[in-house]
Amino acid sequence: MTDSTSDVRNPATGELLATVADTTAEQLDAAVQRAVKARTRCATSPRPRTSSSTPRSDGP
């Protein structure tokens, strides 16, 4: 990554939404590949069991 940044603005209002680090295409591709791997691992992980006998509070 570089030390330079870019502002991301809402095109309709010009409002500053974020300031992001500038990256190369290779850095972006690597980040996307890591995110896809992480999503795949998360999607295949077992989910914790929940109890349907746990009372719910819908208010006072």
Contacts with 9 (C-beta within 8 Å, 6 or more apart), sequence order = 15, 16, 17
DSSP state of 21: E
Q: What is the pLDDT along the chain (60 residues), one digit of tens a residue?
A: 568 999 999 999 999 999 999 999 999 999 999 999 998 887 777 777 766 655 666 665
Please tell me the distance from the alpha carbon of residue 48 to that of residue 51, in angstroms, as a whole number: 10
- The pTM (predicted TM-score) of the whole model is 0.47
Tokens at residue 20, please?
A: 């992001």
Give the H/E segment covering residue 28: helix 25-44
Identify whether the C-beta of residue 40 lies closer than 8 Å to the C-beta of residue 24: no
Domain boundaries defined on the chain: 5-43
